[in-house]
Structure 1
Amino acid sequence: MSVLFFDIGATLADVSVAADGSLTFHPRPRVVEVLDSFAQVRKGIISNPGPGATARENAAAALEAAFGGRFSDEALVHWGAKDRRGIFDGAVTSAGPGAGDCVFVGEDPDERVFAREAGMRTAAHPVFTLAAVEGRPVFWARIEAPDDRSPAELEAVAKLDEVVPVHVASDRLVLAMATARGVRAVEQSGFTADLRGQVGETSAFLVRDDRPVAVPVAFAQASAAFRATAEATMRAAAAFAFVSAELSGSRPPVSSLGPGPGGVYIAAAAGVPVEDVHIPGARPGHIERLLPDPALLSRPGQARAERFVTAFAPGAPSQETVDAVRAAVTPPALRAHVARISGAGPLVDGDPLTVRSRDASSADNERVVDALAGRLHELGLEVRRHEFTWRGHRLSNVEAELAAEASDAVVLVTAHLDSTGAEGEFFDSAGRSRPYDPAVDPAPGADDDGSGTAAVMATAECLSSMVASGRTPARSVRFVLFNAEEQGLVGSKAYARAAAAAGDAIAGVLQMDMIAGFQGGTRTMEIHAGSVVPGPVAGASDALADLVAQAGPAVAPDFTVQQLTGAADPAVGRSDHASFHERGWAAVAVSENFFDDTGPATGTRQYHRPGDTLLDRDHDTDYAASIARTVAVAALTLAGL
C-alpha cells in the first residue's frame, strides 16, 4: 500500500505566525475531505517550519491542532528544508521496506522534482492524491462554458471531482488542473475541456503582451467576436514565441496553454525563471503567477460587493480624521520609513545594518519583514505573518490589525514590501554585461514600493494615535504588506486565497503601489479600479475609487485625479489589488502617474533599477504624502472614523 507525504504550507494549510512565534494552520478547501478518504492509509509530512527545535515543536503543535490524529506516525513526519532531495530520500526510507509507492503532495513544482528524483510519485494538489496513487496523469485544461452554463454550475461539478481551477479568465473560460475523470465530469455537465499537456512538475503563468496586434485586412468584414478571437490568438502566439525564445537553450521548456486575458497562459517547468522575461513595451506587472484553488470560482466577496454598491454612502470625511491624517502622514514620516527599508539609513535605530535589497531572493528581505513586523507590534496592533514559499525561499506577508467590536467587515490598507533591480545594467569584473543577481546586486526600491510601504506604516501610526486619543473605528482595519509582488503577485495571491478560505469579510482593499515618483508638471494620482472579473466586483471597486477621489480635495487639493476603470484600465491584473478582484472583493490600486499611457507619464524613471533611491531626483516625499494622506482618509472613513 502507498504511503502519502504532504507539504503543509499552501498545500494542506495556510500558515500564520503570531508575534510570539506560535503557528496556526488553517486547512485549505477540500483537504480534510481528502485526508479522511485515506483514513486507512499511512500518512506523513515533509515540511519546513524553519530552523531550530522550537520551530519544529510549534509546527507539530499546530499540525495536531488543525488535523488532530491524522498524522499520528511520528516516524513519517519530516521537518526540514526541501531544497534538495535528501529529505525526500529520508521520507522514503521511513516508509519501510514493506511500503509500496510513496507519494508526495505539494504545490511547489521544484519540490516535486526532488520528490521524483527520490522515486516518489507526485501530486500538485491534494485533490489529485488518488490519481497519483493510481498513476493517473493530471492535465492543464481550458474549460469553456456555453451561454446556458454559469461559473456556479462549474464550481458545483469541480468541487465534487478531480478538477482544481487556477485562473478565471471570464464567465466563459477557466484554466484548471484536471484528470481525465474530472474532464469527463465537466463534459457530462455541458462544458467543454481542451487538454494542454500534463501538469507534472510545472506551474502556470499568465503573460500579458502589450504590443499592438495587426489583424489581417481580410478579417475586416468579419464579426467583432471573430476579430477579437483572431487578435487574442495572434497576441498569444506572439507572446509565447517571445517567452520561449528568451527561455530557450539549456533551460527546461515552457509550453503554451492558449490565449489568456491580454496575452498567453504558459506552463513552465520547475526552475524556469518566467518572472525574468520582459516583453518589449510591456507595462509593469505583465506576468502573473497562477495558484490552484478549489474555491476560486466561488468569489466569496461578491455578496459584500453588491451591498457596497447599493448601501455605501460615506459622505465627506470628518474634519477630525483629516486633521489626524495631516498630523501623522507627513513627508518626514514617509522619508524616515523609506530610508530604513531602502538602505538610505539604518534598518533599525541604533543598529548599523542597512538594507541593500528587498528582492524575494535577498537575505535582507527577511530582515525587513522582521523590522516592519516589530514596528507594527509596537503600535499595539495584532501582528501576524502569513508564510508561503517561492522557489525554495520561505517568505512572509506582514499583517497587523486593529479589531473593532461588532465590526461587520475589515478595511485593508496595503502595499508590497519587496523590490527588484532587474531592469538595471550590471557588469562583471571584466566589464562584460551580466544578468541581474539578486544575491549581490542592489535593489533599493525606494519608490517601488518603498513609498507605498511607508504610506501603510504611516497610516498605521495615524490610527494608533487616534485610538490613543479615544477614537475607535466601527470597522476593523488591517494593514498588509505583501511579499514577492515582483514575482507575479505571489504573496498577495497566497494571502487573498487564504483570506477567502478563512471566510474573511473584507469591506475594501486600498493598495498603494509607487506613489513617490514625480518628474514635475501636473501633480496627478491614478486610482485604478478596473478588472476583467465580471459581476459586482466592478461596480464595488468603482465605488471604492469614488471614495478615494472624494477624499482628495481635503488633503491633496492641488492634485488631478485620474480614475481608471473597466477592462481597459492599464493596471488590470498588474498590482496586488487584482488578487482581491479575483475573489470578488472591492479593491483599488493608487499610484503616481505611471501606469496610464494616454499621456506623458510623470512617474519615476528608475523603475526596477538600482537608481530607485531616496536621493533620486524623481523621488518626491511631498508628492507621496499627498497621495498617502488621500488613501489614509479614504480608508479611515470607510472604517467609520
Structure 2
Amino acid sequence: MAQKITRAIVVLDQNSGTLRESAGEVVGFDLRPDLQGACGQCRAQGVDLVLAVPGLSETGLAGGWEAFAPGMAVVPLAGLSYLSGAGLATDRLSEDEPATALVSADRRLRGDARAAGLHPAPHPALLPMMAAGQAVKAARIAGPRGALERLAATTGLVPMQFQPVPGDAETWALFALLPEDALIAAVLAGLTVQPLACDPMSEDLVWARIDAPADAAEVQGALKGRDILYAEPGQVLVALGPEDSAEALHIHGGHGHSELLVPDPGLLRPASHETDFAESAAGFDLPEPILEPVIRNPLSERILKWIRPDCASVTAQYQVDLDRYTGLAPLDAAGPIVSRHSAHPDNKRAEAALLADLRAMGYCAIRHDFSHAGQTHSNIIADLPGTGHLRIRPEILERYRKILARPVIDRTRLPGRALADLAYGDADAAALEALPDEVLRRKLEEILVLRPWYPWWKLRCPSPGIGADLVVVGGHFDSTAGFAPGYSAPRDPAPGRDDNGSGLAAVLSLARYFAAFRGKLTHTIRFCFFNAEESGLVGSKAYASHLKSVNAPIRAVFCTDMMGYNSDGNRIFELHAGYTDPAIRDLSVPLATRVAAAAAA
C-alpha cells in the first residue's frame, strides 16, 4: 500500500483542461471530463482539491474562478518558463501537508514536486488510486483486442498506447498505468502481463525508433546507461527522468522520431459527437424560435466544385513562407531565426509569426497551450468556420456571448424579461434564472451550443453553424538537429527546411487559399500548427486528446510533414495514415483517392 493522499494540486495543462483567453486576458477555463470525474471520486474520499492555473496571476483579475472549477480551490500562478526555476512554488502550494499530490503532464514539474516532498502524478485520472492508497504501476498487457478493452472498462486503468503486436494481427498490446489489483485482474483474465521497471509518476515512457539499418555505435550511445523496459522489432521503450531530453534518442535511419507515451483515459473510448441538436438543451425543450436555417446560393455550390488554385501564385508565396520560417529571410523585425526547436528562444518567435500571418489573412488565430519541459508551449490554431445547416439567430447569440465571455456573469445585462429571447415559457425561464451563477453559465452554454472545441468566448471570432464538423489540416512547426553530435537544442541552429518547414509553409498556403471561401463551406476547416513534435509528438497528442475529450466533431484530418525533399528524385509523395491499426490506416484510402483525383483533374 502507498500513502493515501489527503490533498491534490492539479496544474491546469493539457491533461486537465484549457484556458479561455481573449485579448491577452484569461476569461475562464474548461475542465476536462476526466478531471471532473476524478475530482468527484476524490471528494467522496475526503481529499481537498486545488486547481493551480499558470498565467492566471498575470491577468490582474481576482475572484470568480471557482465557478469554472466547482469543488476546487483555484490558485493563480505565474506563467511557466525555462527561466523561472521550479516555477510552481511547490513549497507555497503544499502548505506543509505531507500527503499532497501534484498532478502535471510535465515531467520536469513532477520532478520539482518530488524534490519538494510532494507525490507527483502525470494525470488526474490517477488521483482516485492515490486517494485509496494504491501504488500506480506501468505495464504492457497483451491479448485479444476485446479482452483488453473489457479490462480497461472494468478496472479504471489509464491507457497510454494501444496497438497490434507486430507480426501478429490477432494480438494487441496495451501500455497502461494501473493499480496492483488491475494487474491481478489481467493475469486472471489470461492476458500476458509484463510490469515495466520504471517510476511512472515522475518519469515518461518513450519509444526510440531503430527500425532501419542504424550505426551500432550510435544506438549504443543513445541507449547507454538507460534501462530498456521493453523492445520489439524497430523500437525500444525507455524511461526519461525529469531532466532528460528526448533529443538523445534520435537515431539516424529511424522511421519517425521518438514517441512519448502519455496517459489518456479516452484512448479506448469510441469517438462520438453530438448529432442531435435537441439533445444539447440538456433537459429543456429546444427553443426553436432562436434558430434559423442556413440558406446557400445554388450557383456558389456549383462553382465551388470546379475551382482549382493557381499553382504558380501558390508556389511563389510558399517559397516566401519557407524562406522566412527556415532562416533564409527575416521572419520578423528581429531578423532571421536560427531554430524552431521547442527549447530554443526562436520557437516563441515562430509562434508569434504564425499568429500574425494567420490574422493578416483574416483568421481568428489562437493558441492551444500545453506544458512540456518546464515551459508553456503553444499549438497555433485558426478556423475557417463552416456554415453548418442551422444557426442561432445572430442577434441572440452575440448578446449572450458577450454576457458569458466574462469571468463573472453580470445578471443585470440579461434581457428585461427573464431570458425572454430564448423563447422559453415563464416556468422554464424562472427555473433558469433561479440557478446559481456557475450552473446558469453551464446551462446557457449548453442551450446556445457553445462548445469548448471552438473559441466562442473570443468575440471577434465568428462561430460555426450547427452541424458544421471539423476538417483538420495541420503539420508541426518545430524543428531539430538532434542527429548532429553534441547538439544543444536551446542554442544550436536547427533550420528544419524539409522537416518541417515544408509542411508548415504548405498549411499556410492552404490557409491563404481557402480564406477566399469564408462563409461558403458547410464544414469548418481548422488549420493547426503543432509544437514539440520533435520531442515525442507532444503538442499534437495534447491537442488530439483535447478534441476527443470534448467530443469535437472531427470529419477528416490531413497532416503535412516533410514535403520538400525526395531523395529518390522521382517526385512521388505518400498520402497515407501512418498508423499500425489496419482499420485506422485503411480510413485514409478514400481521402487519398479523392486527393489524387483532384490533382489529376
TM-score interval for Structure 1 and Structure 2 normalised by the shorter chain: 0.7 to 0.9
Deviates more, 1:404-413 or 1:288-297: 404-413
Report how many residues are paired.
Answer: 483
User: What secondary structure sits across from 1:112 in the alignment?
Assistant: helix
2:142 is matched with: 144
1:586 is matched with: none
CA distance in 1, matches of 2:14, 2:26: 18
CA distance in 1, matches of 2:488, 2:117: 33
1:414 is matched with: 474
2:279 is matched with: none
Q: CA contact under 8 A between 1:154 and 1:186: conserved in structure 2?
A: yes
- Report deviation, 1:461: 1.4
Q: With the length of structure 2 as denominator, give the TM-score of the two structures.
A: 0.72
1:602 is matched with: none
- Report deviation, 1:21: 4.4
Q: Does 1:507 align with 2:491?
A: no
1:342 is matched with: 326
Cα gap change, 1:31/1:521 in structure 2, threshold over 3 Å: closer, same or farther? closer
1:430 is matched with: none
Q: Does 1:452 align with 2:508?
A: no
Which of 48, 64, 67 is the matching residue for 2:66? 64
- Report deviation, 1:30: 2.4
Instruction: Show structure 1 runs of 5+ residues with no match.
Output: 214-237, 305-316, 425-433, 555-641
- Report deviation, 1:486: 1.3
Deviates more, 1:115-124 or 1:494-503: 115-124
CA distance in 2, matches of 1:279, 1:353: 32
Which of 383, 392, 404 is the matching residue for 1:401? 383
CA distance in 1, matches of 2:220, 2:374: 24
Q: CA contact under 8 A between 1:12 and 1:126: conserved in structure 2?
A: yes
Q: CA contact under 8 A between 1:412 and 1:478: conserved in structure 2?
A: yes
CA distance in 2, matches of 1:438, 1:322: 46
* Residues 250-291 of structure 1 deviation map (CA, whole Å, 9 limit, x = unaligned): xxx5333323573222222222223322334323x2411111
User: What secondary structure sits across from 1:447 in the alignment?
Assistant: helix
User: What secondary structure sits across from 1:255 in the alignment?
Assistant: coil
1:44 is matched with: 50
User: What secondary structure sits across from 2:556 in the alignment?
Assistant: strand
1:573 is matched with: none
Q: Does 1:364 align with 2:346?
A: yes
User: What secondary structure sits across from 2:573 in the alignment?
Assistant: strand
* Residues 582-613 of structure 1 deviation map (CA, whole Å, 9 limit, x = unaligned): xxxxxxxxxxxxxxxxxxxxxxxxxxxxxxxx
* Residues 207-249 of structure 1 deviation map (CA, whole Å, 9 limit, x = unaligned): 2222469xxxxxxxxxxxxxxxxxxxxxxxx99x97674354x
Which of 458, 477, 495 is the matching residue for 2:543? 495
Cα gap change, 1:78/1:41 in structure 2, threshold over 3 Å: closer, same or farther? farther
Q: CA contact under 8 A between 1:338 and 1:446: conserved in structure 2?
A: yes
CA distance in 2, matches of 1:301, 1:482: 23
CA distance in 2, matches of 1:182, 1:167: 17
One-letter amino acid of the structure 1 residue matched with residue 586 of structure 2: G
1:353 is matched with: 335
CA distance in 1, matches of 2:51, 2:162: 31
1:553 is matched with: 600
User: What secondary structure sits across from 1:25 in the alignment?
Assistant: strand
Q: CA contact under 8 A between 1:207 and 1:265: conserved in structure 2?
A: yes
Alpha-carbon RMSD: 3.3
Q: CA contact under 8 A between 2:78 and 2:87: conserved in structure 1?
A: no
Matches within 5 A, 1:228-307: 245-248=221-224, 254-260=226-232, 262-283=234-255, 285-300=256-271
Cα gap change, 1:209/1:33 in structure 2, threshold over 3 Å: closer, same or farther? same
* Residues 5-53 of structure 1 deviation map (CA, whole Å, 9 limit, x = unaligned): 1111023224464565446533234211221223343322444328x62
* Residues 611-640 of structure 1 deviation map (CA, whole Å, 9 limit, x = unaligned): xxxxxxxxxxxxxxxxxxxxxxxxxxxxxx
Instruction: Provide the identity percentage.
Output: 28
CA distance in 2, matches of 1:242, 1:303: 50
2:39 is matched with: 35
1:575 is matched with: none
CA distance in 2, matches of 1:24, 1:264: 41
Q: CA contact under 8 A between 2:16 and 2:34: conserved in structure 1?
A: no
Cα gap change, 1:114/1:529 in structure 2, threshold over 3 Å: closer, same or farther? closer
1:129 is matched with: 127
Q: CA contact under 8 A between 1:412 and 1:477: conserved in structure 2?
A: yes
* Residues 320-346 of structure 1 deviation map (CA, whole Å, 9 limit, x = unaligned): 566452168522111121222222222
One-letter amino acid of the structure 2 residue matched with residue 546 of structure 1: T
CA distance in 1, matches of 2:124, 2:154: 17
CA distance in 1, matches of 2:13, 2:160: 17
One-letter amino acid of the structure 2 residue matched with residue 183 of structure 1: L
Q: CA contact under 8 A between 2:207 and 2:258: conserved in structure 1?
A: yes
Q: CA contact under 8 A between 2:386 and 2:468: conserved in structure 1?
A: no
Deviates more, 1:185-194 or 1:508-517: 185-194
1:576 is matched with: none
- Report deviation, 1:417: 1.0
User: What secondary structure sits across from 1:297 in the alignment?
Assistant: coil
Cα gap change, 1:256/1:190 in structure 2, threshold over 3 Å: closer, same or farther? same
2:284 is matched with: none
2:460 is matched with: none
Cα gap change, 1:19/1:504 in structure 2, threshold over 3 Å: closer, same or farther? farther
Instruction: Show structure 2 runs of 5+ residues with no match.
Output: 165-170, 276-300, 389-466
CA distance in 2, matches of 1:212, 1:446: 24
Matches within 5 A, 1:379-390: 379-390=361-372
One-letter amino acid of the structure 2 residue matched with residue 53 of structure 1: E
User: What secondary structure sits across from 2:499 in the alignment?
Assistant: coil
- Report deviation, 1:119: 1.2
CA distance in 2, matches of 1:355, 1:481: 17
CA distance in 2, matches of 1:518, 1:154: 44
CA distance in 1, matches of 2:102, 2:73: 14
Matches within 5 A, 1:189-204: 191-197=191-197, 198-204=199-205
Q: CA contact under 8 A between 2:212 and 2:234: conserved in structure 1?
A: no
One-letter amino acid of the structure 2 residue matched with residue 413 of structure 1: V
User: What secondary structure sits across from 2:153 in the alignment?
Assistant: helix
CA distance in 2, matches of 1:286, 1:359: 14
- Report deviation, 1:79: 4.1
CA distance in 1, matches of 2:596, 2:587: 14
CA distance in 2, matches of 1:36, 1:49: 26
Q: CA contact under 8 A between 1:121 and 1:133: conserved in structure 2?
A: no
Deviates more, 1:317-326 or 1:408-417: 317-326
CA distance in 1, matches of 2:140, 2:274: 27
CA distance in 1, matches of 2:314, 2:334: 25
2:486 is matched with: 435
Cα gap change, 1:508/1:203 in structure 2, threshold over 3 Å: closer, same or farther? same
* Residues 348-378 of structure 1 deviation map (CA, whole Å, 9 limit, x = unaligned): 3xx2432221111111111111121122223
* Residues 398-443 of structure 1 deviation map (CA, whole Å, 9 limit, x = unaligned): 111112122452111111111122334xxxxxxxxx6112333222
Cα gap change, 1:209/1:374 in structure 2, threshold over 3 Å: closer, same or farther? same
CA distance in 2, matches of 1:328, 1:466: 19
CA distance in 1, matches of 2:34, 2:557: 27
Q: Does 1:375 align with 2:331?
A: no
Matches within 5 A, 1:552-591: 552-554=599-601
One-letter amino acid of the structure 1 residue matched with residue 585 of structure 2: A
2:444 is matched with: none
- Report deviation, 1:206: 1.7
Deviates more, 1:292-301 or 1:488-497: 292-301
One-letter amino acid of the structure 1 residue matched with residue 124 of structure 2: P
